[in-house]
Amino acid sequence: MPDSGLQSRTGTSGTAASAAIKKRVGKKDRYSKDRKVGEGTYAVVYLGRQLSTNRVIAIKKIKVGQFKDGLDMSAIREIKFLSELRHENVIELIDVFVSSGTARSLNLVLEYLSADLEMVIKDRSVMFTAADIKSWMYMTFAGLYYCHRHSVLHRDLKPNNLLLSPTGHLKIADFGLARQQPGPYDPMTPTVVTRWYRAPELLLGSKIYTRKVDVWAVGIIFAELMLRTPYLPGQTDLDQLDLTFRAFGTPTEESWPGVSSLPDYFYDPEKTSAATAASDPKSGIYPPPTREQMRMQFSAASESALDFLLKMTTLDPAKRIDTKECLETAYFKEMPAPTPPERLPRLSAKNDSDPHVGSESEGVGKNLKREKVDEIAEREKRLGDVAKKLKF
């Protein structure tokens, strides 16, 4: 059982000041830790209860002792942003407390969420409809729009960070990579977002990027929901770039002004034209997909669903739509209407037991071996042929 009080220490003014701390910082609620449900490199997740209300909660206990630099950066980011964000589609941070004892640790008390979108996508016994997908997409964008209005970039959106409550509500979780949109010229690291959901500007090494990286990720999640399999499961960063351009066309200076000056852009701008792509299929330069190809690939999608997908996955981030435009798009207005959360499909009972608080204890790693290694090698070789320089 954790103790939210501070260690009492001896010193010039021992216990009285310690009592004063408790009094002034506020005696926090107490929680039970009922069982361990996950363990990652920097946190252990427990299922428990808030004793005053008997509410079921998840406790993400961050192992602090092993970090010689004090409070862990991911934990700080998560606490910093979740303390500010209050929205029905963003995971609720209920409390933070410090447990004392030999190994001091930081505990994030989070709302209990029984499943995540990745589990639903993978559970073959679960059937879902276009209206269900629309509902998950709407809730994702409602939460993401709210984050973006607070200038918070999530930077790690993927199906297993979109958690589902027992009432069917979707909540964006895991803000361990989040940050505020910096000033227009402040660089950020491009090595964010799990590879399969990484926007092309990040793959090309751009250090100046915007909220649009999150929109791209949701676009790829949308495709995954429709296909029920990861859409662009790249094995390496280079492979990811190749898959991305095969799906949406190799960007050119016309389609994406400035693309050739991005740090890791290695194509010859002279040759990356639509003409090359059309005339030489072996060039590694891909033309944008035709409407017909998109229809073939996403056979169940409506025309406005396809439009929406293409707008979210526009290569040039300046032309990609933002979250506000996403919410206003025709896709959400046409029939069928989104399924009400409480009527959304659930996991089959055997899978619906453990709480999830983000990708910490789960990983996409287990999916990475899905594709045949020689296919990837071949794609990379093709790409290597057109490479001017390789900086991956």
Partner 1 sequence: MSSTPAAKSDDDLYREGSQYRIWSFSQSELEEVRRSVNRIASEHLAHEHQMARSAERGGEEEGVKIEYLTEGEEYEMLLHYCVKVQDAAAVYKLPSHIKATAIQYLKRFYLKYSLMEFHPRNIMYTCLFLATKSENHFISIDNFVQPLQRVSKQSIIDLEFIVAQTLSFTLLVHHAFNPIHGYFLDLQSVFADRMDEIRSAHDRARRYANDSLFSDAAFLFTPPQIALAALMMANEGLMDAYMDVKFGQNAVLLRQLKTTTERIKSYIVEGGKPKIGSERALALERKLYVCRNPEKARKRFGNGSSSESLNDSAEPAAKRVKIEQEDTVMT
- Report the catalytic residues: 156
Whole-angstrom Cα distance, residue 272 to residue 283?
9
Print the SS3 string covering the chain.
CCCCCCCCCCCCCHHHHHHHHHHHHCCCCCEEEEEEEEECCCEEEEEEEECCCCEEEEEEEEECCCCCCCCCHHHHHHHHHHCCCCCCCECCEEEEEEECCCCCEEEEEEECCCEEHHHHHHCCCCCCCHHHHHHHHHHHHHHHHHHHHCCEECCCCCHHHEEECCCCCEEECCCCCCEECCCCCCCCCCCCCCHHHCCHHHHCCCCCCCCHHHHHHHHHHHHHHHHCCCCCCCCCHHHHHHHHHHHHCCCCCCCCCCHHHCCCCCCCCCCCCHHHHHHCHHHCCCCCCCHHHHHHHCCCCCHHHHHHHHHHCCCCCCCCCCHHHHHCCHHHHCCCCCCCHHHCCCCCHHHCCCCCCCCCCCCHHHHHHHCCHHHHHHHHHHHHHHCCCCCC
Whole-angstrom Cα distance, residue 75 to residue 82?
10
101 binds partner 1 (CB under 8 A): no
Q: x/- contact string, 231-270, with partner 1 (CB under 8 A)?
A: ----------------------------------------
27 binds partner 1 (CB under 8 A): no
Question: C-beta of 106: minimal distance to partner 1 in Å?
Answer: 8
Whole-angstrom Cα distance, residue 173 to residue 36?
19
Question: C-beta of 179: minimal distance to partner 1 in Å?
Answer: 6
Whether the ω angle into residue 336 lies within 30 degrees of 0, i.e. cis, is: yes
Among residues 208 and 364, whose Cβ is nearest to partner 1? 208
Q: Which of 34, 84, 280, 375 binds partner 1 (CB under 8 A)?
A: 84
Q: Which of 3, 9, 296, 303 binds partner 1 (CB under 8 A)?
A: 9
Among residues 152 and 277, whose Cβ is nearest to partner 1? 152
Among residues 88 and 253, whose Cβ is nearest to partner 1? 88
344 binds partner 1 (CB under 8 A): no
6 binds partner 1 (CB under 8 A): yes
Among residues 149 and 291, whose Cβ is nearest to partner 1? 149
Q: Which of 166, 258, 336, 340 binds partner 1 (CB under 8 A)?
A: 340
Q: x/- contact string, 171-210, with partner 1 (CB under 8 A)?
A: --------xx--x---------------------------
Q: Which of 327, 368, 386, 387 binds partner 1 (CB under 8 A)?
A: 327
Question: C-beta of 374: minimal distance to partner 1 in Å?
Answer: 40
Among residues 61 and 379, whose Cβ is nearest to partner 1? 61
Residues comprising the binding site for ATP?
61
Q: Number of residues in contact with partner 1, rule: CB under 8 A?
A: 49
Residues comprising the binding site?
61
Question: C-beta of 105: minimal distance to partner 1 in Å?
Answer: 10
Other CB atoms within 10 Å distance of the CB of residue 210 = 20
Q: x/- contact string, 42-81, with partner 1 (CB under 8 A)?
A: --------------------------xxxx-x--xx-xxx
17 binds partner 1 (CB under 8 A): yes
Among residues 13 and 53, whose Cβ is nearest to partner 1? 13
Whole-angstrom Cα distance, residue 216 to residue 256?
15
The closest alpha carbon to 173, from 71, 60, 96, 49, belongs to: 60
20 binds partner 1 (CB under 8 A): yes
Scanning the structure block, which residue is given the tokens 């310690």? 18
324 binds partner 1 (CB under 8 A): yes
16 binds partner 1 (CB under 8 A): yes
Question: Which stretches of the chain bind partner 1, using CB under 8 A?
Answer: 6, 9-14, 16-18, 20-21, 24-26, 68-71, 73, 76-77, 79-81, 83-84, 86, 88, 96, 98, 104, 106, 135, 138-139, 142, 145-146, 149-150, 179-180, 183, 324, 327, 338, 340-341
